[in-house]
Chains A and B, each alone.
Chain A
Amino acid sequence: MENFRQINLLVNKQPYTLAIKPYVSLLDALRDYLDLTGTKKGCDHGQCGACTVLVNGNRVLSCITLAVMKDGAEITTIEGIDHPLQNTFIEHDAFQCGYCTPGQICSAIGMLREGKAHSRAEVAELMSGNLCRCGASMQIIDAIMEVKSGGSNE
């Protein structure tokens, strides 16, 4: 097979081996090759955050990452997440259509791990890479603030 690469990905703790062309984005690899369609394609250009996944624990945009760049990496998508945010999102009505939600939750988990947001304003700033077309942003911040330990709601 010309120009196909064999790569290994550990997705949601499960090992996968894929033969793909270098131009396949991590997003397309997850959705179209591994059938993990929880991760969403919004803009496909790095502008909306819907495709956010965790790579080795860091939140990144899978639409502008090539899958081959992540050979050997550990990837977590919404399908592999079991986190209190999933409940607080429901309690706070933090979505309407739900299209941005997988990206919001992966991004929020990455943000909590980074540990740089100490106030509501900082959470809003550090979540700005996830747009919500339905306008649930305020409730999304509420849901995150509830989970954030020791964070003030100011």
Chain B
Amino acid sequence: MNDFNYHKAATIDEAVNVVNENPRAAYLAGGTNIIDLWKYNIISPELLMDVNQLGEGIIETSDGIRLSAFITNSATAWHPLIEERYPLLSKAILAGASAQIRNMATNGGNLLQRTRCYYFYDPNVPCNKREPGSGCSAKEGYNRIHAILGASEQCIAVFPSDMCVALAALGAVLNVSGSAGNRSISFNDFHRLPGDTPQLDNNLLHDEIITSIDLPSKGFATNYSYLKLRDRHSYAFALVSVATGLDLEDNIIKEARIALGGVAHKPWRVIAAEEYLVGKAPTAENFAIAAEIILQGAISFKYNAFKIELSKRAIVRNCLMALDPSSQLPGSQPSA
């Protein structure tokens, strides 16, 4: 663990300017991931730029809601506008981590949390994500929690966020600021697949800061569900999670959104499966066909083959739960 400098940012511009000038500077939000990584000697920042005080809350825009990146996951999940209009997001956030961690973790930090691959966390073994070119210990190792979709020869780690699975399903847009100016990034273009550059989790540049997250007006608040399957009922990362939003009319699906978590290097959405469901009845049979489409091309490793069938069943169960959102229970207990 190295010594580091600390600075409380007064403005976004100040934060960006200082981080831009120092390749070993990083933004500090809730600290729940970055301080942990520093304690494990996975990162050694020279300067932490505290951005917690830059939050602007949650505001209504002409076509949806804008969430500050700097407010906590708790404040977001329990906000009346989110509970009412985007309950899928609320449920997904509340399925993650613990109440204390959600009180600290921010929306921006959640998007940038690193993988929980044990080999990434162990500086004594090769890991291409931590040390490009060193190799991937997970491929031949204990890979029970690892990817079944979109992995590469270099890396089979998964992205562990729950919140981001809902943001993917909702089609959120991220607003970022950097020394080169401001830009917006659609959610699907934010996180990356590992490919040959597994050290890059996302497309954010070093000095860029996420300032807010835009949610489109359509929140799927009538028919939605988030299902998280894990090794204990609560306070554990997802083995597989599913976010579903359905728009139904006369028992026919007008629009469907399905995103998977815990299975790939980014939240996994397959548009062809969502399109397949349009115009169909919301039945287990149709959801099972959508699940087959989503899992097309899935590849398992020695210890995670169970995840393929688990994902398919989770998709069907969660889509059926979306027909009656009250069937979701706290934790991952069986639905009513």
Contacts and interface: CB of A to CB of B under 8 A. Distances in A.
A64 B40 CA distance: 12
Interface string A130-154: 1100000000000000000000000
Contacts of B288: none
Given A5-B6, A122-B330, A128 B39 contact: no
Contact of A64 (B31, B48, B50, B78): B31
A125 B234 contact: yes
Interface in A109-132: 110-111, 114, 116, 121-122, 124-131
B50 A69 contact: yes
A61 B30 CA distance: 10
Contact of A129 (B4, B36, B101): B101
B329 interface: yes
Interface in A69-94: 69
Interface residues of B, number: 32
B5 A107 contact: no
A122 to B, nearest CB: 6
A132 to B, nearest CB: 12
A121 B331 CA distance: 9
B185 interface: no
Instruction: Give the secondary structure class of A's interface.
Output: mixed
B305 interface: no
A116 B94 CA distance: 11
Interface in B220-246: 233-235
Contacts of A59: 99-100, 103
Nearest to A53: B100
A52 B74 CA distance: 16
B36 A45 contact: yes
Contacts of B329: 121
A5 B4 CA distance: 12
B4 A23 contact: yes
B39 A3 contact: no
A102 interface: no
Contacts of B5: 3, 22
B39 A66 contact: no
Contacts of A110: 99-100, 103
Contacts of A49: 98, 100
A110 B74 CA distance: 13
A106 B5 CA distance: 30
A61 B104 contact: yes
Nearest to B77: A116
A52 to B, nearest CB: 6
B53 to A, nearest CB: 10
Contact of A61 (B1, B100, B233, B235): B100
A8 interface: no
Contacts of B50: 69
A46 interface: yes
B36 A125 contact: no
A130 B74 CA distance: 17
A9 interface: no
B9 to A, nearest CB: 12
A21 interface: yes
A65 interface: yes
A58 interface: yes
B107 to A, nearest CB: 17
A9 B122 CA distance: 35
B35 interface: yes
A21 B3 contact: yes
A64 B36 contact: yes
Contacts of B40: 45
Contacts of A11: none
12 contacts: A22-B6, A23-B1, A46-B101, A60-B103, A65-B31, A66-B6, A107-B99, A107-B100, A114-B78, A121-B333, A127-B99, A130-B98
Given A64-B31, A66-B28, A128-B235, 18 more contacts: A21-B3, A22-B6, A23-B1, A45-B36, A45-B40, A49-B98, A49-B100, A59-B100, A60-B100, A61-B32, A64-B32, A65-B31, A66-B35, A66-B48, A110-B103, A125-B233, A128-B234, A130-B98
Interface of B: 1, 3-6, 28, 31-32, 35-36, 38-40, 48, 50, 52, 74, 78, 97-101, 103-104, 233-235, 329-331, 333
Closest 3 CB pairs of A and B: A129-B98, A22-B6, A128-B234
Interface of A: 3, 5, 21-23, 25, 44-46, 49, 52, 58-61, 64-66, 68-69, 107, 110-111, 114, 116, 121-122, 124-131
